Amino acid sequence: MSELTITDCTDWTKVLVRAAPSSALAAALGTPYGRATRAADGALVVGTAPDGWLLLAPDAPAVSIVQRVATQAGPEFASIVDVTHGRALVRLSGTASRGVLAKVCAVDLADAAAPAGAAIRTLVAGITAMIVRDDEPGELSFLIESDRSYGEYLMDVLLDAGS
């Protein structure tokens, strides 16, 4: 188990979904705001707003995810948009990752407050970011997602805080 590693995951496929919380699609996604779960196809479904989700997948093409969700949505009003290019994604792993985030983020990320599968939208070093507790086998791990234009800044900040 390493102490701290940081990986740029910006090339992951990212699909934004908007639908009413009471919709059939919301039920099918099965992930409320503030939680993240793995779908059957391996995509990480993150509840990013009461009526919004972000689907993250390391290698599945966006079209297939968009089509799959569109099928689930049926005729109800929903928006499914490929935002792969709009978001930066960084993975911070290791025992020290929580301590690094504690320097730039005011939210409690301890097990009790942020267990595996927690998804927290908050400020990270002054920018709005989504922190997803997405542990890897035997290792504490966080995915951090922000607007793409902040990506280099976010990486710089985490490297500085973790130095």
Partner 1 sequence: MLLLPCPHCGPRDAAEFGYVGERVARPDPNAATPQHWRSYLYLRRNPAGWTDELWLHRAGCGRYLAISRNTVTGECRSTPGEAG
Partner 2 sequence: MMRLEPQPGEVIDRGRPLTFTWNGRTYPAYAGDTIASALAAAGERVFSRSLKYHRPRGLLTADAHDPGCILQVGDEPNVPGAARRVSDGMAVAAQGAWPSLRFDVKALNRLAGPVLSTGFYYKTFIRPRRLWPLYERVLRRFSPGGRVPAAPPDGRYEHRYVHPDVLVTGGGPAGMAAALAAADLGARVLLIDDQPELGGHLRWGGPDDLAALTELRGAVAEAGNIEVLADSVVTGRYEGGLVAAVQRLHGSGSLTERLVKARPAQLIVAPGLIERPYVVAGNDLPGVMLSTAVRRLIKLYAVKPGDRAVVFTANDDGLAAAADLERAGVDVRRIVDAREGGGIIRVRGRGGVRAVECADGRVVRCDLFVTAVGWTAPTALVTMAGGRAAYQAGAARFVPAELPEGVLVTGGLAGDGTLDELVAHGRATGQDAALRATGASGGGAPISSLEPAAHPQLFAGRTDGVVDFAEDVSSKDLKAAVAEGYDSIELVKRYTTATMGATQGKLEAVNAIAVVAAATGRSIAETGTTTARPPYIPISLGALAGRNYQPVRRSPMHDWHVEHGAAPLVAGQWIRPDHYGDPAAEVRNVRQHVGIVDVTPLGKFELRGPDVPDLLELLYVNRWRKLAVGQVRYGAMCTDDGVVLDDGVSGRLGEQRYLLTATSSGATGIGEWIERWLQTEHPDWRVHMIPMTDAYASINVAGPRSRELMERLVSGIDMSNEAFPYMRVRLGTVAGVPDCVVWRIGFTGELSYELHVPSGHGLTVWQALLSTGADLGVRPFGVEAQRILRLEKGHLIVGQDTDGLTQGFSAGLDWAIKMDKDDFIGKPELAWQRVRDSHLMLVGLQPVDRRTVPPEGCQIVEDGGRIVGRVTSSRFSPTLERAIGLGFVAPHLSEPGTVVTVVLPDGGRVPAKITPQLAHVDPEGTRLRV
Q: Can residue 150 be called a binding residue for partner 2 (CB under 8 A)?
A: yes
Rg of the chain taking only CA atoms, in angstroms: 15
27 binds, among partner 2, partner 1, none (CB under 5 to 8 A by kind): none
Site map (CB under 8 A) of partner 2, residues 86-125, x = contact: xx--------------xxxxxxx-x--x-----------x
Q: Is 54 exposed, middle or buried (0-12, 13-18, 19+ CB in 10 A)?
A: buried
Q: How far is the CB of 128 from partner 1 (least distance, A)?
A: 4
Q: Can residue 159 be called a binding residue for partner 1 (CB under 8 A)?
A: no
User: Whose Cβ is closer to partner 2: residue 38's or residue 99's?
Assistant: 99
Q: Can residue 110 be called a binding residue for partner 1 (CB under 8 A)?
A: no
43, 72 Cβ separation under 8 angstroms? no
Q: Is the dihedral of CA 111, 106, 87, 76 positive or negative?
A: positive
Q: Which of residues 120-149 bind partner 1 (CB under 8 A)?
A: 120-123, 128
Q: Can residue 161 be called a binding residue for partner 1 (CB under 8 A)?
A: no
Phi, psi (degrees; rounded to nearest 5) at 44: -90, 120
Q: Which stretch binds partner 2 (CB under 8 A): 22-30, 40-48, 78-86, 89-97?
A: 78-86
Q: Out of 67, 71, 79, 95, which residue is the one contacting partner 2 (CB under 8 A)?
A: 79
Q: Can residue 79 be called a binding residue for partner 1 (CB under 8 A)?
A: no
Binding positions for partner 1, rule: CB under 8 A: 33-34, 49-50, 52, 106-107, 120-123, 128
